[in-house]
Amino acid sequence: MTTLPTKRDETWRYSDLEAVATVWPVATHAHVVAPGEAFALPILIDAGEGAVTIEDHEIAIGAGATATVHIAIAGGRLGRVFVKATLAEGAHLELTGAIVGGGAETHEIVTRVTHAEPNATSAQTVRAVLGGKAVGSYLGKVAVARGAQKTDATQSAKAMLLDRTATANLKPELEIFADDVKCAHGATVGELDREALFYLAARGLPPAEAKTLLLRAFVGGLFEGTPEAERFDAAIDKALETML
Protein backbone atom coordinates (compact mmCIF):
# COMPACT_ATOMS: atom_id res chain seq x y z
CA MET A 1 0.00 0.00 0.00
CA THR A 2 1.52 3.31 -1.08
CA THR A 3 -1.27 5.67 0.02
CA LEU A 4 -0.28 7.53 3.17
CA PRO A 5 -2.44 6.59 6.18
CA THR A 6 -4.86 9.11 7.67
CA LYS A 7 -6.30 9.54 11.13
CA ARG A 8 -9.65 8.32 9.84
CA ASP A 9 -8.09 4.86 10.11
CA GLU A 10 -8.45 3.75 13.73
CA THR A 11 -5.04 2.09 13.71
CA TRP A 12 -3.35 5.40 12.82
CA ARG A 13 -5.50 7.80 14.84
CA TYR A 14 -2.86 8.64 17.43
CA SER A 15 0.21 8.42 15.21
CA ASP A 16 2.67 11.09 14.11
CA LEU A 17 1.73 11.15 10.43
CA GLU A 18 4.35 13.75 9.56
CA ALA A 19 6.98 11.31 10.76
CA VAL A 20 5.27 8.41 9.01
CA ALA A 21 5.43 10.28 5.70
CA THR A 22 9.24 10.37 5.86
CA VAL A 23 9.53 6.56 5.62
CA TRP A 24 6.35 5.57 3.78
CA PRO A 25 5.67 3.10 2.20
CA VAL A 26 6.74 0.39 4.61
CA ALA A 27 7.39 -3.20 3.60
CA THR A 28 5.42 -6.00 5.27
CA HIS A 29 7.40 -8.96 6.61
CA ALA A 30 5.50 -12.22 6.15
CA HIS A 31 6.18 -15.19 8.44
CA VAL A 32 4.71 -18.67 8.11
CA VAL A 33 4.98 -20.99 11.11
CA ALA A 34 4.57 -24.60 10.01
CA PRO A 35 2.24 -26.92 11.98
CA GLY A 36 3.80 -27.96 15.26
CA GLU A 37 6.78 -25.60 14.90
CA ALA A 38 7.92 -22.76 17.19
CA PHE A 39 8.76 -19.25 16.00
CA ALA A 40 10.27 -16.27 17.86
CA LEU A 41 10.26 -12.65 16.74
CA PRO A 42 12.17 -10.17 18.94
CA ILE A 43 11.76 -6.49 17.95
CA LEU A 44 13.78 -3.75 19.64
CA ILE A 45 13.41 -0.10 18.62
CA ASP A 46 15.86 2.12 20.50
CA ALA A 47 16.90 4.54 17.76
CA GLY A 48 18.33 7.98 18.44
CA GLU A 49 16.46 11.24 18.72
CA GLY A 50 14.45 12.10 15.62
CA ALA A 51 14.58 8.61 14.12
CA VAL A 52 11.45 7.05 12.61
CA THR A 53 11.08 3.27 12.73
CA ILE A 54 8.03 1.32 11.56
CA GLU A 55 7.86 -2.48 11.48
CA ASP A 56 4.98 -4.34 9.87
CA HIS A 57 4.64 -8.10 10.36
CA GLU A 58 2.12 -10.73 9.30
CA ILE A 59 2.30 -14.16 10.93
CA ALA A 60 0.39 -17.27 9.85
CA ILE A 61 0.56 -19.76 12.73
CA GLY A 62 -0.10 -23.32 11.69
CA ALA A 63 -1.99 -26.00 13.60
CA GLY A 64 -0.40 -26.70 16.97
CA ALA A 65 2.38 -24.18 16.31
CA THR A 66 3.59 -21.41 18.64
CA ALA A 67 4.67 -17.87 17.86
CA THR A 68 6.35 -15.67 20.47
CA VAL A 69 6.68 -11.95 19.78
CA HIS A 70 8.66 -9.66 22.08
CA ILE A 71 8.58 -5.91 21.45
CA ALA A 72 10.45 -3.11 23.20
CA ILE A 73 10.14 0.48 21.94
CA ALA A 74 12.44 2.85 23.79
CA GLY A 75 13.68 5.57 21.47
CA GLY A 76 13.23 7.72 18.39
CA ARG A 77 10.68 10.30 17.29
CA LEU A 78 8.33 7.52 16.20
CA GLY A 79 8.50 3.83 16.95
CA ARG A 80 5.65 1.68 15.66
CA VAL A 81 5.15 -2.07 15.43
CA PHE A 82 2.16 -3.63 13.70
CA VAL A 83 1.55 -7.37 14.10
CA LYS A 84 -1.17 -9.22 12.22
CA ALA A 85 -1.50 -12.86 13.23
CA THR A 86 -3.81 -15.65 12.13
CA LEU A 87 -4.09 -18.78 14.28
CA ALA A 88 -4.99 -22.23 12.99
CA GLU A 89 -6.36 -25.03 15.19
CA GLY A 90 -4.53 -25.44 18.47
CA ALA A 91 -2.03 -22.67 17.70
CA HIS A 92 -0.69 -20.25 20.31
CA LEU A 93 0.47 -16.63 20.15
CA GLU A 94 2.37 -15.00 23.00
CA LEU A 95 2.95 -11.25 22.53
CA THR A 96 4.73 -9.11 25.10
CA GLY A 97 5.47 -5.43 24.64
CA ALA A 98 7.09 -2.53 26.48
CA ILE A 99 6.84 1.14 25.52
CA VAL A 100 9.04 3.79 27.15
CA GLY A 101 8.80 7.32 25.81
CA GLY A 102 9.54 10.89 26.84
CA GLY A 103 9.82 14.31 25.24
CA ALA A 104 7.58 14.50 22.18
CA GLU A 105 8.03 10.87 21.16
CA THR A 106 5.24 8.74 19.72
CA HIS A 107 5.37 4.98 20.22
CA GLU A 108 2.77 2.43 19.14
CA ILE A 109 2.04 -1.26 19.27
CA VAL A 110 -0.88 -2.26 17.04
CA THR A 111 -2.10 -5.85 16.80
CA ARG A 112 -4.77 -7.67 14.82
CA VAL A 113 -5.13 -11.29 15.95
CA THR A 114 -7.57 -13.65 14.25
CA HIS A 115 -8.55 -16.97 15.81
CA ALA A 116 -9.59 -18.66 12.59
CA GLU A 117 -9.98 -22.23 13.91
CA PRO A 118 -10.87 -23.96 17.21
CA ASN A 119 -8.75 -24.53 20.30
CA ALA A 120 -6.23 -21.76 19.67
CA THR A 121 -4.89 -19.51 22.44
CA SER A 122 -3.36 -16.05 22.54
CA ALA A 123 -2.02 -13.79 25.27
CA GLN A 124 -1.00 -10.16 24.84
CA THR A 125 0.69 -8.17 27.61
CA VAL A 126 1.77 -4.55 27.11
CA ARG A 127 3.25 -2.06 29.59
CA ALA A 128 3.98 1.62 28.87
CA VAL A 129 5.88 4.32 30.75
CA LEU A 130 5.37 7.84 29.38
CA GLY A 131 6.69 11.25 30.34
CA GLY A 132 6.92 14.75 28.91
CA LYS A 133 4.53 15.13 25.98
CA ALA A 134 5.01 11.59 24.75
CA VAL A 135 2.17 9.58 23.24
CA GLY A 136 2.05 5.82 23.75
CA SER A 137 -0.59 3.57 22.22
CA TYR A 138 -1.63 -0.05 22.29
CA LEU A 139 -4.45 -0.80 19.88
CA GLY A 140 -5.14 -4.50 19.97
CA LYS A 141 -8.01 -6.34 18.33
CA VAL A 142 -8.82 -10.02 18.72
CA ALA A 143 -11.30 -11.51 16.27
CA VAL A 144 -12.79 -14.96 16.87
CA ALA A 145 -14.22 -16.47 13.71
CA ARG A 146 -17.39 -18.52 13.48
CA GLY A 147 -16.57 -22.08 14.37
CA ALA A 148 -13.43 -21.14 16.32
CA GLN A 149 -14.78 -22.76 19.47
CA LYS A 150 -12.69 -23.21 22.63
CA THR A 151 -10.72 -20.06 21.85
CA ASP A 152 -8.84 -18.66 24.85
CA ALA A 153 -7.60 -15.09 24.37
CA THR A 154 -6.37 -12.50 26.87
CA GLN A 155 -5.18 -8.89 26.60
CA SER A 156 -3.62 -6.87 29.41
CA ALA A 157 -2.48 -3.26 28.85
CA LYS A 158 -1.23 -0.90 31.57
CA ALA A 159 0.38 2.53 31.33
CA MET A 160 2.21 4.70 33.85
CA LEU A 161 2.22 8.47 33.28
CA LEU A 162 5.11 10.44 34.77
CA ASP A 163 3.66 13.79 33.67
CA ARG A 164 0.09 14.97 33.14
CA THR A 165 1.14 16.14 29.66
CA ALA A 166 1.86 12.59 28.51
CA THR A 167 -0.85 10.57 26.78
CA ALA A 168 -1.65 6.85 26.85
CA ASN A 169 -4.12 5.31 24.43
CA LEU A 170 -4.98 1.75 25.41
CA LYS A 171 -7.69 -0.01 23.44
CA PRO A 172 -8.00 -3.79 23.70
CA GLU A 173 -10.91 -4.94 21.57
CA LEU A 174 -12.81 -8.19 21.04
CA GLU A 175 -14.90 -9.30 18.07
CA ILE A 176 -16.43 -12.71 18.74
CA PHE A 177 -18.54 -14.85 16.40
CA ALA A 178 -18.27 -18.13 18.34
CA ASP A 179 -20.23 -19.01 21.47
CA ASP A 180 -17.89 -21.34 23.37
CA VAL A 181 -14.89 -19.13 24.06
CA LYS A 182 -12.90 -17.69 26.95
CA CYS A 183 -11.83 -14.12 26.19
CA ALA A 184 -10.78 -11.34 28.56
CA HIS A 185 -9.19 -7.94 28.28
CA GLY A 186 -8.27 -5.05 30.55
CA ALA A 187 -6.60 -1.63 30.41
CA THR A 188 -5.49 0.76 33.15
CA VAL A 189 -3.66 4.10 33.21
CA GLY A 190 -2.11 5.42 36.42
CA GLU A 191 0.70 7.33 38.11
CA LEU A 192 3.50 6.36 40.46
CA ASP A 193 2.33 5.45 43.94
CA ARG A 194 3.08 8.46 46.19
CA GLU A 195 3.10 6.30 49.31
CA ALA A 196 5.66 3.96 47.77
CA LEU A 197 7.83 6.94 46.79
CA PHE A 198 7.58 8.33 50.33
CA TYR A 199 8.48 4.94 51.77
CA LEU A 200 11.63 4.72 49.65
CA ALA A 201 12.58 8.35 50.33
CA ALA A 202 12.20 7.75 54.07
CA ARG A 203 14.84 5.06 53.74
CA GLY A 204 17.31 7.41 52.10
CA LEU A 205 16.75 6.62 48.43
CA PRO A 206 17.07 9.72 46.19
CA PRO A 207 13.85 10.59 44.28
CA ALA A 208 15.21 9.66 40.84
CA GLU A 209 16.44 6.28 42.09
CA ALA A 210 13.14 5.63 43.85
CA LYS A 211 11.18 6.36 40.67
CA THR A 212 13.52 4.19 38.60
CA LEU A 213 13.11 1.30 41.04
CA LEU A 214 9.32 1.48 40.91
CA LEU A 215 9.24 1.79 37.14
CA ARG A 216 11.59 -1.15 36.69
CA ALA A 217 9.22 -3.17 38.85
CA PHE A 218 6.32 -2.05 36.65
CA VAL A 219 8.01 -3.01 33.38
CA GLY A 220 10.35 -5.61 34.83
CA GLY A 221 9.87 -9.29 34.23
CA LEU A 222 8.26 -8.86 30.83
CA PHE A 223 11.22 -10.42 29.07
CA GLU A 224 12.72 -12.40 31.94
CA GLY A 225 14.24 -15.68 30.84
CA THR A 226 14.26 -14.82 27.14
CA PRO A 227 17.38 -14.66 24.96
CA GLU A 228 16.85 -10.93 24.39
CA ALA A 229 16.18 -10.01 28.04
CA GLU A 230 19.56 -8.37 28.69
CA ARG A 231 19.46 -6.33 25.49
CA PHE A 232 15.86 -5.24 25.93
CA ASP A 233 16.24 -4.39 29.63
CA ALA A 234 19.35 -2.30 28.91
CA ALA A 235 17.48 -0.24 26.33
CA ILE A 236 14.53 0.24 28.70
CA ASP A 237 16.80 1.28 31.58
CA LYS A 238 18.61 3.78 29.37
CA ALA A 239 15.32 5.32 28.28
CA LEU A 240 14.08 5.54 31.87
CA GLU A 241 17.27 7.26 33.00
CA THR A 242 16.82 9.87 30.28
CA MET A 243 13.26 10.60 31.42
CA LEU A 244 13.94 10.91 35.17
Is 64 part of any domain? yes
Let me know if residue 208 belongs to a domain.
no
Residue 201 is assigned to a structural domain of this protein: no
Domain-located, residue 29: yes
Residues of the domain holding 135: 10-192
Asked whether residue 206 is assigned to any structural domain, the reply reads no
**230 torsion bin: left (phi>0), alpha (psi -120 to 50), beta (else):** alpha
Write out pLDDT tens, residues 3-57: 999 999 999 999 999 999 999 999 999 999 999 999 999 999 999 999 999 999 9
Half-sphere exposure of residue 216, counting CA atoms within 13 Å on the CB side? 15
Which value, to the nearest 10 degrees, does the dihedral of the CA atoms of residues 124, 235, 213, 189 take?
Answer: -40
pLDDT tens for 142-157 read 999 999 999 999 999 9
Average pLDDT in the chain = 95
The yes-or-no verdict on residue 240 having pLDDT over 80 is yes
User: Does 79 fall in a domain?
Assistant: yes
Flag whether pLDDT at 2 surpasses 80: no
Please write the tens of the pLDDT for every residue from 154-175: 999 999 999 999 999 999 999 9
How many domains are there within the chain? 1
pLDDT at 204: 83
Distance from C-alpha of 161 to C-alpha of 139, rounded to nearest angstrom: 18
Please give the pLDDT value at position 179.
Answer: 93
- Average pLDDT for 64-75: 98
